Amino acid sequence: LALQRSTLSDIERAQMAAHAGGVPASEVAERSLLRHKGLGPSYGVGPLERQTSVDVKDDTCDDLCPSSEEHYPFLDLTRLGCVFMVAVDHGAPAFGHWNVFFAQGWVLQYLFLVCGVCFGMSKKPLLEYELRLGVYAVIGVCVNWSAWLLMGLDWRSNFFNVVFHIWFVFGLMVYAVLLVPVRAFLVSTRAMCDQRAAAGENPEEADLPQDEEERGGDVTVPARAEQRDALLHALVVIGGGVLGILILFKEVMRPLLKIIAPLVLQFVSLLGTGTSFWGLPQTSQESLVFLEQVCSYSMVTTTNLYLMFTCPRVFKRRQLTAWAVLINTYGHRMLWYRSSDERPWHGFDLMTIALTTYFLGILHRRTLGKYIARYWFVPIALCGLLWPAGTYGRLDETPPHEMSLRIRSTMMEAIFVVVWLCAGDRIAHKEIFTEDKMVFMNDWALIVFLVHKAVHMMLPSPTNWLVILGIGPVCYIRRHLP
């Protein structure tokens, strides 16, 4: 009887929300009954479910992908769009140089964010995770290598370019090994925050002093002193740690760089001439400068890890951690020059941001996501104003030295990252896969990612595009025909 009353009350609430949103009440009631019986669709969280829970005020409202058992279609759609844009860029580089669709600010970034969220959700052992990525990497390298052999190109002295985009997969393998302890730490930190909330410390209380009107009454002198001491403690812990990291990488590490520089140059020379495209050093002086830049990149990454450790402990709201990591990452990218060789570190930072947001949430995500979805044209307009009209070049591969241009391009990327973290799940409907039967596009994206570079090398236009698009019907037939 209690279960029946609970079911009926849920249906009534869903019907009220449906009446406000224009969804037939009978359809809502039927779906609610199916969900209680365990017969509802398992692919994603559709707009109906989000609508019926919009007024639920719990601590999970700021979480990204709150259920690891759920399948979230926006992750698949993001991956599909990014792989398509990668294939377009490698076949027609002018699209990337003219920044069509503002692709420089989101394609590679979203791939790392998706990989970070999926790594956080994954329950597979690390060895199994690495083996699967290793299989993809071997297949991709063999396909590229075959194209070089068939085209009669000198692959021996340029093996770095033979691997080409598959370096992304190798990077993920390294990131996964490095992020395993980070993931375990975030799991324990989330449990600690949940226990702290259950013990009576309300996570919705502000970490900063509030006005008396917001407190609903007078604030006593001891309470004000406690708030002030807590804020001072947070500033000392965070600011002191960041300052210590800055001194470590800018001063303490400097004498060691001259010793390591020749070894780095010798290793880079083994990878071939293709390393110059990625900004790797070709001379002794460049090797020393490269190491100084590596220290700068590592300083940002180390600071992110430090913020991830300290923020949940000095702030009552764990969701503030993601904002701290975002501000640190993009603040450094705006203020200090970062060369093209910084991309591996930035990929790691993006996966760190994704993991932090997945496990700890991001403050006011639900509210920001609602308004981003409602005023979706505003971020696009802002990016259009930030990007200098007529600019030609890959600012993501060769960051500009000019600070104003660097700030504008970095702000554009930050906007895309925040939009995806806060409102990415609102742009995708599970019906794309459940009703439109587009699941086969996941297979298409995987195959295209592995073979598109070889197809572009061996086939002229438009034959290369016909082959890439023709993989789609083959995947559909494999999925849907016996």
CA distance 40 to 35: 5
Better-scored residue on pLDDT, 150 or 269: 150
Is residue 85 a contact partner of residue 441, using CB atoms and an 8 Å limit?
no
Mean pLDDT, range 220-246, rounded to an integer: 82
Instruction: Label residue 213 by pLDDT band (50, 70, 90).
Output: very low
Mean pLDDT, range 315-320, rounded to an integer: 91
**pLDDT tens-digit series, residues 422-461:** 999 988 888 898 899 899 999 999 999 999 999 999 999 9
As beta bridge partners, residue 43 has 71
pLDDT at 6 over 70: no
pLDDT at 32 over 80: no
CA distance 252 to 15: 64
pLDDT at 200 over 70: no
pLDDT at 1 over 80: no
Instruction: Label residue 274 by pLDDT band (50, 70, 90).
Output: low
pLDDT at 57 over 70: no
- Which pLDDT does position 367 carry in this prediction? 93
Omega prior to 462 cis, within 30 of 0: yes
Of 23-27, 291-295, 343-347, 382-386, the range with the lowest mean pLDDT is 23-27
- Which pLDDT does position 228 carry in this prediction? 77
DSSP assigned state of 58: S
**pLDDT tens-digit series, residues 139-188:** 999 999 999 999 999 988 888 899 999 999 999 999 999 999 999 999 99
**pLDDT tens-digit series, residues 95-145:** 999 999 999 999 999 999 999 999 999 989 999 999 999 999 999 999 999
- Which pLDDT does position 466 carry in this prediction? 97
pLDDT at 13 over 70: no
The per-residue pLDDT of the chain, averaged, comes to: 83
- Which pLDDT does position 310 carry in this prediction? 94
Is residue 121 a contact partner of residue 65, using CB atoms and an 8 Å limit?
yes
pLDDT at 281 over 70: yes
CA distance 103 to 97: 10
CA distance 14 to 23: 10
Chain CA centroid to CA 242, Å: 24
- Which pLDDT does position 224 carry in this prediction? 75
Which candidate, 381, 369, 359, places its Cα nearest to that of 427?
369
| Helices 440-458 and 463-480, axial angle in degrees (round to 10) | 150
Distances (CA, A) of 466 to 84, 90, 250, 459, 460: 14, 15, 52, 10, 10
Alpha helix positions (H), 319-399: 320-335, 343-360, 365-374, 377-386
CA distance 402 to 407: 9
Mean pLDDT, range 270-288, rounded to an integer: 75
- This model's pTM is above 0.95: no
Sequence-distant contacts of 459-467: CB under 8 A, at least 24 apart: 461/91, 461/92, 464/91, 465/91
